[in-house]
Amino acid sequence: MSQLITYLQAFAELFYPRICLVCNEKLIATEKHLCLTCLLHLPRTNYHEQAENKLEELFYGRIQIHRASAYFEFKKGSSYQKVLHHLKYRGQKELGEFMGNRFAEEIKQADWIRKADLLCPVPLHPKKERKRGYNQSFHIAKGMAQSLQIPISRQDLIRKKFSSTQTRKARYERWENVSEIFELKNPAVFEGKHVILIDDVVTTGSTLEACAQTILNKCQCQISVLTLAIA
């Protein structure tokens, strides 16, 4: 049966070839979403190895963050921006799991990662999640959990107010847009834990700051941050 499926997949690819999201070259059988060359040349930050890195500095004077890292850097118009676009707007939740898993495999030996207790994806408002069909941050966390063997908290931090998109907003406008829109339903789950907030991309950090503040207002715990990308 598995051989038949392999033949059918190969036949389908004659008409609908799988292509790399970054360079548009045809993927070989062992590649998923990105070709090996584009994955190799991903502009990694390696922030997980650097204390007081650019992402951690983003939160200085705003919120107490233990550690923070992003998988890669991107600029507007970069080929790697396509990864985020397909994840967020093209329904490719499997891409989120793939990238989350690849990221986790590269950082899993970092001491602060190994000491984490809980992964918490940044929640979407139920209305937005129904419209999109999924929460991309959850699927990133799901891929990371498979590698790190750290449980995910999905229902304890919720988004209680619907907010407009952050795109094209200035830093203060972004903060106003997300201030006091999150709620911690079950603080006991976070009490005394090292919690890692998971998101797809960080620009000003306003959403992650609001999530962290909501958690820290209700319990004593340690907050770190992991995102796929930093703009």
Asked if residue 221 and residue 112 are part of one domain, the reply reads yes
pLDDT digits (tens, 9 = 90+) for 38-55: 999 999 999 999 999 999
Same domain, 67 and 94: yes
Q: Which pLDDT score is estimated for 161?
A: 84
Q: Which of 139, 120, 140, 133 has the alpha carbon at shortest distance from 190?
A: 120
In a domain, 7, yes or no: no
**Residues lower than pLDDT 50 in the chain:** 4-5, 7-8, 11-12
Do residue 119 and residue 226 come from a single domain?
yes
Model-wide pTM > 0.95? no
* Cα distance between residue 182 and residue 61, in whole Å: 21
pLDDT score for 179: 63
pLDDT of residue 37: 97
Give the domain range for residue 36: 13-42
* CATH at 157: 3.40.50.2020
Tell me the pairing of strands 68-73 and 194-202. Answer: unpaired
**Residue 105, in any domain of the structure:** yes
Structural tokens at position 25: 């070259």
Instruction: For residues 95 and 34, give the distance between their C-alpha atoms in angstroms, rounded to a whole number.
Output: 9
Its sign, for the CA torsion 146, 147, 149, 154, is negative
Is 63 in the same domain as 128?
yes
The DSSP bridge pattern shows strands 157-159 and 182-184 to be antiparallel
Claim to verify: residue 134 and residue 33 sit in the same structural domain: no
How many secondary structure helices (H) and strands (E) does the chain include?
Answer: 10, 6
User: Biggest alpha carbon distance in the chain?
Assistant: 59
Domain match, 143 and 205 both: yes
pLDDT reported for residue 17: 87
In a domain, 4, yes or no: no
Q: Are residues 27 and 73 in the same domain?
A: no
Q: Within a domain: residue 3? A: no
Count up the domains in the chain and report the number: 2
Confirm if 65 and 59 have CB atoms less than 8 A apart: yes
